[in-house]
């Protein structure tokens, strides 16, 4: 009895140390901040995730688009939020490249966030050309680029975006000079028309256009072939030495999130990505559902930022 009484008193003491707001009310909406515009690939995934969470837990979920500054505006919104388990950031691996490329970020990418989980990962970026392009293989494309340095170009979703970074890494690894053409959104339309010669995009982003025969995939970064494009060889299989930028997405909460709330958020998200609807959507998008635990995700994010601090500065990419 004495032991039970001491345990009960100890539990009360621990509870007293946790702020009242840290004892989350599941009836409160979960706000998922997406740092990209409505209709983007990340936004669509977030809405599938939100629907899955609501159906699984009954908790209302709001997807809040805060686009701008390469994803940093939405991240700032979450960095400033209360660590009460009601606001999270859902974004891509660009979060880790921004940490290095953006010199005046209004937050610390490590200290101002609590990594919750990596939700999905996929096979790199595909080198795409229009079906009107004369290049049928990656070898033909590289030969043309070397024959006329600075003549061919590649489109990206903006300066410093991962679609820009992988393009520069490709140029450096292969030894070609492609002119960068940044867009405010995905350059798919201009790629199809031939306005830009090529682009490095996630297979899921351009899969429908590839399937329809409007675009042609010549190769793909990453260590394995994409399940969406099983016939397309990786750069490594084509004997190209190109450093990769992994394609993945994850969730962060504000810094100093109490451990009980972190675990609760993690469990909610881990269960959501196992739901048949989310698994089906991820696989059809060329991704693989993930549910990396918070400690492992924190270590992964930290290691990626450290890797990029060595890899990216020599590329000369500057973001305001």
pLDDT in tens, 19-47: 333 334 567 899 999 999 898 889 999 99
Share of the chain above pLDDT 90, in %: 76
List C-alpha distances in Å: 52 to 49, 64, 219, 272: 5, 16, 34, 6
- The phi and psi torsions of 176 (rounded to 5 degrees) equal -125, 165
What's residue 232's pLDDT? 96
Q: Contact, 176 vs 146, CB < 8 A?
A: yes
Q: What is the pTM of this model?
A: 0.85
What's residue 9's pLDDT? 40
Angle between helices 259-274 and 41-57 (to 10 degrees): 100
The answer on pLDDT for 222 being more than 70 is yes
What's residue 22's pLDDT? 36
- Fold for 126-220, please state it: D-Maltodextrin-Binding Protein; domain 2 (3.40.190)
* Helix intervals (H) in the chain: 2-17, 41-57, 72-79, 94-101, 138-147, 162-174, 188-193, 203-211, 259-274, 276-284, 294-311
Tokens of 198: 């090529």
CA 318 remoteness from chain centre: 20
Strand segments (E) across 165-258 = 179-182, 198-201, 215-220, 247-254
Mean pLDDT for 253-259 is 98
The answer on pLDDT for 3 being more than 70 is no
Mean pLDDT for 261-289 is 92
Residue where the block lists tokens 């959507």: 281
* Helix intervals (H) in 18-149: 41-57, 72-79, 94-101, 138-147
The answer on pLDDT for 16 being more than 80 is no
Q: What is the pLDDT of residues 108-146, one digit of tens each?
A: 999 999 999 999 988 789 999 999 999 999 999 999 999
The answer on pLDDT for 90 being more than 90 is yes
* DSSP tag of 82: -
Give the span between the Cα atoms of 225 and 205, in whole angstroms: 16
Q: What is the pLDDT of residues 37-85, one digit of tens each?
A: 898 889 999 999 999 999 999 999 999 999 988 889 999 999 999 999 9
Contacts of residue 244, Cβ cutoff 8 Å, sequence gap at least 6: 124, 166, 169, 221, 222, 223
Extents of the domains making up the chain: 28-122+247-315, 126-220
Q: Contact, 222 vs 286, CB < 8 A?
A: no
Q: How many residues does the chain have?
A: 320
| Average pLDDT for the chain | 90
What's residue 132's pLDDT? 96
CATH architecture of 28-122+247-315: 3-Layer(aba) Sandwich (3.40)
Asked if domains 28-122+247-315 and 126-220 share a fold, the reply is: yes
């Amino acid at each position: 009895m004495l032991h039970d009484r001491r345990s009960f008193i100890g539990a009360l003491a621990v509870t007293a140390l946790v702020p009242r707001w840290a004892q989350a009310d599941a009836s409160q909406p979960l706000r998922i901040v997406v740092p990209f515009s409505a209709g983007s690939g990340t936004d669509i995934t977030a809405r599938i995730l939100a629907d899955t969470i609501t159906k699984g837990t009954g908790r209302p979920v709001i997807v809040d688009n805060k686009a701008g500054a390469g994803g940093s505006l939405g991240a700032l919104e979450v960095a400033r939020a209360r660590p009460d388990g009601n606001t999270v950031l859902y974004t891509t691996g660009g979060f880790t490249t921004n940490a290095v490329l953006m010199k005046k970020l209004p937050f610390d990418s490590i200290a101002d966030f609590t990594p919750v989980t990596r939700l999905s990962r996929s096979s790199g970026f595909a080198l795409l050309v229009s079906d009107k392009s004369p290049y049928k293989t990656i070898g033909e494309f590289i030969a043309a680029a070397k024959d006329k340095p600075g003549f061919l170009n590649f489109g990206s979703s903006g300066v410093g975006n991962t679609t820009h970074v992988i393009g520069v890494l490709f140029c450096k690894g292969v030894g070609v000079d492609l002119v960068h053409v940044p867009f405010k959104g995905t350059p798919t339309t201009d790629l199809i028309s031939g306005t830009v010669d090529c682009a490095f995009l996630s297979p899921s982003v351009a899969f429908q256009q590839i399937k329809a025969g409007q675009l042609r995939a010549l190769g793909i970064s990453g260590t394995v072939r994409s399940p969406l494009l099983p016939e397309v060889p990786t750069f490594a299989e084509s004997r190209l030495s190109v450093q990769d930028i992994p394609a993945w997405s994850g969730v962060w909460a504000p810094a100093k999130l109490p451990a009980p709330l972190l675990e609760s958020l993690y469990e909610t998200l881990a269960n959501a990505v196992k739901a048949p609807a989310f698994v089906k959507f991820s696989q059809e998008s060329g991704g693989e559902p993930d549910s990396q635990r918070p400690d492992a995700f924190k270590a992964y994010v930290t290691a990626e930022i450290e890797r990029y601090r060595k890899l990216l500065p020599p590329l000369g990419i500057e973001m305001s």
